[in-house]
């Protein structure tokens, strides 16, 4: 029985060593150099990861069919696909460089839009369910909210790479962010909402178990029903947000606010809220399509059974 425990302990130590080393190196690397390295790694991955490359190109092709003006030609889609890979590697470099940001730089590193919607949602006293896509640097967005004094809870699958997943989770928790997985269920999320906290959910991820179809770039795509279910169960408002990388730094926008409507049946309300979430995601992804870091064929996603949960 001791061998597996020793092996697990060894993997954890190695994970923390890698993350500590990355944090130290990236904190000392000038931003311009870090961007150059990120671009180089992105070019290498684009060349040697054909499955991920094909998935990004397929996603962009579907968005092009919806009439996106920047994706009309194959050359446009290839150029933007390369930008997606660069955006992802910049995201990783920025995440690991977080310790180079002093308090003053943290305050200047982020710009917020729609804060009135966030405070309106918080004022409900039931906590807030925030949904966002994989745009810009979504991880630093959560850290920025925690540094503003909000109680933040995120649900994640494997982060960046399985080797470093455990250490990254510990890093978040050290920064004041509670972390759970879909296997943990709704209970820890409801506890956060009960105490007025923010539950942040990446609604274009693939770690959910219950889905509902919604219009998305001209197709009917399953989106997680969890955010809407959580809002209905807790009474918390649903706040749609996104992060984006801009020439002036990182911007976090709170775009729209929805409240559960108990005058509707459960299923009708879930369909309504999930459709609103998908519409906001579509609008923000269309505006920042070169930063949408999804590396699976998003438009071929199968629909998890939600009938028994939303009857």
Residues 293 and 300: their CA atoms lie apart, in Å, by: 16
Residues 84 and 208: their CA atoms lie apart, in Å, by: 23
Residues 63 and 85: their CA atoms lie apart, in Å, by: 17
DSSP 218: T
- List of residues 6+ apart from 72 with CB closer than 8 A: 64
Token duo for residue 135: 């745009």
Kindly state the percentage of the chain with pLDDT values over 70: 88
Residues 286 and 79: their CA atoms lie apart, in Å, by: 16
pLDDT in tens, 218-275: 999 999 999 999 999 999 999 999 999 988 888 999 999 999 999 999 999 999 999 9
Mean pLDDT to the nearest integer, 43-53: 97
Which of 184, 232, 212 lies closest to 308, judged by CA?
A: 212
Contact 252, 112 (CB under 8 A): yes
93-102, 103-112, 142-151, 272-281: least confident range: 103-112
**pLDDT computed for residue 218 by the predictor:** 93
Residues 287 and 191: their CA atoms lie apart, in Å, by: 34
Residues 308 and 185: their CA atoms lie apart, in Å, by: 16
pLDDT in tens, 1-13: 445 566 666 666 7
Residues 301 and 220: their CA atoms lie apart, in Å, by: 10
Instruction: Quote the crossing angle between the two packed helices 74-96 and 2-28, to the nearest 10°.
Output: 100
Which residues on neighbouring strands pair with residue 177, listed in sequence order?
152
pLDDT in tens, 127-153: 999 999 999 998 888 888 988 899 999
Query: CA gyration radius for the chain?
Result: 19
Q: How far is CA 10 from the centre of its chain?
A: 29
Residues 187 and 193: their CA atoms lie apart, in Å, by: 10
**C-alpha neighbours within 13 Å on the C-beta side of residue 261:** 13
């Amino acid at each position: 029985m001791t061998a597996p425990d020793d092996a697990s302990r060894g993997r954890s130590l190695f994970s923390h060593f890698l993350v500590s080393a990355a944090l130290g190196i990236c904190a000392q690397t000038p931003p311009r150099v870090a961007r150059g390295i990120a671009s180089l790694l992105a070019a290498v991955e684009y060349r040697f990861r054909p499955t991920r490359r094909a998935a990004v190109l397929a996603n962009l092709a579907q968005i092009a069919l919806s009439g996106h003006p920047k994706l009309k030609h194959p050359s446009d889609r290839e150029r933007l696909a390369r930008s997606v890979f660069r955006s992802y590697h910049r995201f990783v470099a920025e995440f690991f460089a977080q310790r180079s940001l002093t308090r003053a730089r943290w305050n200047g590193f982020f710009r917020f839009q729609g804060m009135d919607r966030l405070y309106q949602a918080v004022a409900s006293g039931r906590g807030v369910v925030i949904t966002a896509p994989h745009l810009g640097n979504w991880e630093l967005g959560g850290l920025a909210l925690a540094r503003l004094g909000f109680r933040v809870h995120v649900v994640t699958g494997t982060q960046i790479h399985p080797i470093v997943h455990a250490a990254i989770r510990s890093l978040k928790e050290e920064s004041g962010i509670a972390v759970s997985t879909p296997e943990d269920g709704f209970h820890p999320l409801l506890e956060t909402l009960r105490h007025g906290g923010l539950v942040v959910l990446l609604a274009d991820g693939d770690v959910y178990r219950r889905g509902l179809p919604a219009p998305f770039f001209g197709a009917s795509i399953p989106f997680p029903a969890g955010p809407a279910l959580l809002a209905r169960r807790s009474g918390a408002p649903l706040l749609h947000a996104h992060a984006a990388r801009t020439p002036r730094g990182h911007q976090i926008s709170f775009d729209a606010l929805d409240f559960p409507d108990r005058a509707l049946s459960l299923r009708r309300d879930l369909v309504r809220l999930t459709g609103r979430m998908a519409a906001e995601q579509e609008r923000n992804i269309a505006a920042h399509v070169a930063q949408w870091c999804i590396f699976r064929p998003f438009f071929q996603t199968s629909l998890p059974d939600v009938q028994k949960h939303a009857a």
